[in-house]
Structure 1
């Protein structure tokens, strides 16, 4: 064997198992709680549930900022009203060694009106989500953790709707299938001037979030189910 290959093999064997998994890209996510993190973000002393995870086994391009923006826009969301987010930034600790970090962004339902539709969501209410990436030195799965919820309209101070965490998560999964190009569909959608097809598998994870309202922002109960999505882009 070539000396360089021997060196690489020895180096990999010397790594902790989590490091090997990172190198192989073969893990869905790391449980944030195992390294001091939480499945609740940090919002006004309480937290909103991170109730959707996009697996680190998804297509690598989807897990990049630009690739995820393409995906979010394809399923009917925009990154703020005209690209501007008026809501306060929230933080989450994904147990990856970075502690509490700011969200990557806030995405709001655009109602089929790119750019302007999310402004309508600010006024009338609708679905929205915040997203964080698990990519710190202690747990670099590359997975995306989303806090998805349904909001009230501006007259109700833009608070979370009753049962808004469960409803928001369900709507997040329903919108793509209504568009007919996701969840095992063979139809295409044009995104960013290129044809892309998103094929998604969904799994329920029931051991990450405690059901109920303890520690949850606004005291709204949620069912404790986290949806794990593995998305392939072709």
Structure 2
């Protein structure tokens, strides 16, 4: 498995093209546990036997408040990088599940967040529902508290939200480009600013590149991006 650091100064660059890079031979295991080591998979279960790549991981070395999904801080982070809860809180279709190798087997996603098009609140995601855009599913890993994300860019409602060509890589790259560096979210109800600092590392050797086992038969490049997020107010 190989890692590539993405410098903060390249926040707007796509991870696949980040340069210069530094190779990291080892990282502490508390970032996450490799799902395959515990009998899991880097593909979730979308349309059995096909799955969608878990192509972004929020490191277990991130701020504890962020990793505690019950705290609400992760949602503020999602809002800071351009995502929000689903349109009017409504969800169509069944949840996907993932086996993260943490001894729990396949567990349903905890939530699905959609691109908000710069509009505060879930009303913004109604545009994504109609027009298509980026979205991700959330899967926490027991033991490490790392959060695995299945990110993809999808078509509009008329095209049944099918994934766009190269949509797994495109969705991942867009999320990472919007997350790396400093982002903030101001909560009007709390009158409070949430501040996040994000660094990113590209990892290879975890998912085999290509379309084997991948939903919709869409090939992906095999890159998983590890985000480490520091939260402050």
TM-score, shorter chain, exceeding 0.5: yes
Aligned to 1:27: 30
Distance 2:33 2:73 in 1: 22
1:88 aligns with 2:94: yes
How far apart are residue 32 of structure 1 and its match? 0.3
Please say if residues 68 and 145 of structure 2, whose CA atoms lie closer than 8 Å, have aligned partners that are also in contact: no
Contact 1:28 1:143 in 2 (8 A): yes
Tell me the matched-pair count: 199
Report the counterpart of residue 8 of structure 2 in structure 1.
none
How far apart are 1:76 and its partner, in Å? Answer: 1.3
Superposition pairs of residues 129-144 of structure 1, within 5 angstroms: 129-135=136-142, 140-144=143-147
String of CA shifts for 1:103-156, please: whole Å, max 9, x gaps: 010000010112211111111000000010001xxxx11000000000001111
> Are residue 39 (structure 1) and residue 42 (structure 2) matched?
yes
Kindly report which structure 2 residues correspond to 1:72-151, keeping only aligned pairs within 5 A, or say none: 72-113=78-119, 114-135=121-142, 140-151=143-154
Asked if 1 retains the 8 angstrom alpha-carbon contact of 2:86 and 2:112, the reply is: yes
Structure 2 regions of 5+ residues with no counterpart?
1-27
Matched, 1:230 2:228: yes
Larger strand share, 1 or 2: 2
**1:28-56 deviation digits (Å, cap 9, x = unpaired):** 00000001100000011100000000000
Could you list the runs of 5+ residues in structure 1 that have no partner in the other structure? 1-24, 177-181
Question: Relative contact order: is structure 1 or structure 2 higher (C-alpha 8 Å, sep ≥ 6)?
Answer: 2
- Partner SS for 1:82: helix
Counterpart secondary structure, 1:70: helix
C-alpha distance in 1 between matches for 2:221 and 2:29: 28
If you compute each CA radius of gyration, which structure gives the higher value, 1 or 2? 1
SS in 1 for 2:89: coil
